[in-house]
Structures are given as structure tokens and as C-alpha cells.
Amino acid sequence: MDKPLKIVFFGTPEFATGVLETLHNSHHQIVAVVTAVDKPAGRGRKLNESHVKQFAIQNNIPVLQPSNLKAPEFIKELKSYNADLQVIVAFRMLPKVVWDMPAMGTFNLHASLLPEYRGAAPINWAIINQESQSGVTTFFIDEKIDTGAIIDQQSCDIDENETVGTLYKKLMDMGSILSLNTVNNIAAGKITTQTQPMKDTLKEAPKLNAANTTIDWNNSTKAVNAMVRGLYPFPVAKAVLIQENIETVKIYQTSVRLEKHKMNPGSIVIEDDIFKVACTDGFLIIDEMQLPNKKRMDVKSLLNGYNFSADARFHNGLL
């Protein structure tokens, strides 16, 4: 077995915790964890600790939570751990003074097959864009975002009804194994890197916001269904409902019905317990939805207690 490495791990969400746990359970030593500052959340505005911090505390791993990654006191403390290697998973961009610190470098795990889907939300966008494959990549950090030399990759199929939740778990498990393999190969001096190819038509994975998570019914039924799956269970697809008031609703689960019609996209048809919305080439069947200030409900239950006006319709995108 190769010499165990001293590692500082950078990460915040659950996806990163899966990788951290795998590395922690290996023969390598996690000497410290760097994660996001606690943030108030919920109605009580209670300080919320990241998944990574919770795991680190449970396993007696020192936790650093700098608000400024260039602060002299943080740099000094980071150096004190004398790490051989730094591993980054779902964390913000690092300054060179940080990623250039360890002798064996700093690598990042990214949830896409780079160079495709650089950015903040690669898992979501792979499903939204109806890709047939996704994967994970380890690469050395450099000055730009997600552009460093590739160390290793592993791909997987995206199933027909895949959601971001199921793909998230699949890639987290794959990424944990790939990260440990990458650490082992770095320790053994067995890595070769590949410069990321430069293309003019790369697909990106920008941060999700109100505009790009709101459904435009001018798209095909498959495209809208893919958007719903690519945002389920987080952050959830939105749609603008127009009737007596204009309301934003959340749409959780849907299915596709290809059927010719002459209705305007966004038109609503309610048939018994079926709630369907016109798209360009058919109807999207909404199975679960949440109205403002209401709980998430299956459509049958919702229709039993809520009457949509005769002229109710969905707007195409944000107002």
C-alpha cells in the first residue's frame, strides 16, 4: 500500500460529504476540512451547518470556515496542516495562494464529463438537456473555473426517467470511488494528465435561478418533462399560473402525452382527475404540484379541494 497522504478537503453539500466519507475511511488522513460559513435558514433563522461540517465534527476532523480565502490568518492556519494534497468537491473558486500550496497539488471532482458542463449545476443541466450520458471528472485546479488538466474520468448512462435526485446519488457514489483512485494514483506517482480540449460549442452548466427554472410551454413535451426531472427534487420546476391572480406554482412530477392539438402552449385541460398542459407537440400530464401557501399534493387530491377558473392558463416563462 502506498504511503498515506495528509489531505485538506474543501466542500460543502451532501455530494461532497460522500467523497469525504470515502477518503476518511481510507488509509489516507483528512487533516482538516474547509467548508462554507454557517448560514441562517428556515423560519427561525437558525444557523445551518453544511453537510461537510456535520460529518467532520462527528469524526473529530478540524473545521475551517473562512469568509475570505485570502485572509492572512486563514492562509497561515491552512499551511500549518502541512498537507500533501488538497481535494475540492462543490466549493467556491480558490485563489492561487490556496490551490498552489500543497506539494502534490490540488484536484477537483466535477460532476460532468469535462470539458462539457463546466459550471455550478452540471447534474441538473445534463438531464434538462436530455443527455444520454453523464459522469465524473477529476482535474488539477488552475486559474480558471473547471478548465484544469484532466486526471481521470468515469461515465454512466442517464436513464429515460432519471431525475437529478437519482443521478446525484449515482454520481456521488462514482465520484467517491474516482476521487479515492485519484488520490491513490497521485500517491503512487502513477497519474498522467490530459489538457482539456478547446471547443467553440461546449455546453455549460450555469447557476440555477428564477428565469432558468421556470417552464416555457412553447417547448416540446419531452423538453418540459426533462426540465421537471432535471429540477426534481431540488430546486423544483416553477410555472406561472394566470387566473384571478398571478401565482407561481411548483411542479414536482410529470409525464408525457404526445397528442396533436390546436391549443396555445400553456393552456390547461382538466379531465376527471387528469391535469394536462398544452405544449407544442402534445400535453404534459402534471402528477404532483404545489400551489402558493399550500402543501405539495398529488393532482387528484388537489382537484378535490381546489377549483381552477375556466380561463386559467400557464404563462410561457417568467412574466
What is the per-residue pLDDT for 19?
97
The pLDDT confidence band at residue 200, using thresholds 50, 70 and 90, is confident
Q: What is residue 199's predicted lDDT score, i.e. its pLDDT?
A: 80
For residue 196, give the amino acid letter: Q
pLDDT digits (tens, 9 = 90+) for 53-103: 999 999 999 999 999 999 999 999 999 999 999 999 999 999 999 999 999
* Mean of all residue pLDDT scores within the chain: 95
pLDDT digits (tens, 9 = 90+) for 10-65: 999 999 999 999 999 999 999 999 999 998 776 666 788 999 999 999 999 999 99
pLDDT band at 2 (very low <50, low <70, confident <90, very high): confident
**Rounded to whole angstroms, how far apart are CA atoms 209 and 5?**
39
What pLDDT score was predicted for residue 42? 66
Percent of the chain residues past pLDDT 70, beyond the cut: 98
- What global pTM score does this model have? 0.94
| Residues 226-246: tens digit of each pLDDT | 999 999 999 999 999 999 889
Residue 319: pLDDT band (50, 70, 90) is confident
